[in-house]
């Protein structure tokens, strides 16, 4: 399980991460076993290089129940990416960073 690898696979060719920020794990709150992103690094704008070591050991893609990943916003040169969940099942979603003609997706359940 590696959220960094998940994110790299989600990116398009030529797309580069400019910054990201982590929120809380799951539905807010977590046990000591699930601390990958320290509390003092949550809510802090990070480079991908700074965030990468904290992304090992968990994944953005999870099953039902409480989400087992961190809420995340990722800004790239093309998009804004975030985690969405339905009944705890998690996935990465995105929107164009700037206004463009496109067909929006319907995220959720």
The token duo for 95 is 């929107």
User: With bands split at pLDDT 50, 70 and 90, how would you rate the model's confidence at 84?
Assistant: very high
Quick: pLDDT tens for 29-81.
Answer: 666 666 899 999 999 999 999 999 999 999 999 888 888 899 999 999 999 99
| Cα–Cα dist 96/17, whole Å | 14
pTM of the model: 0.91
């Amino acid at each position: 399980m590696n959220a960094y690898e998940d994110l790299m696979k989600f990116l398009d060719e030529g797309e580069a991460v400019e910054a990201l920020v982590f929120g809380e794990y799951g539905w807010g709150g977590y046990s000591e076993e699930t601390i990958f992103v320290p509390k003092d690094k949550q809510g802090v704008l990070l480079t991908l290089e700074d965030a990468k070591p904290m992304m090992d050991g968990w994944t953005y893609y999870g099953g039902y129940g409480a989400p087992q990943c961190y809420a995340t916003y990722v800004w790239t040169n093309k998009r804004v990416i975030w985690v969405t969940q339905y009944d705890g099942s998690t996935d990465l979603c995105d929107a164009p960073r700037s206004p463009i003609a496109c067909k929006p997706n319907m995220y959720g359940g």
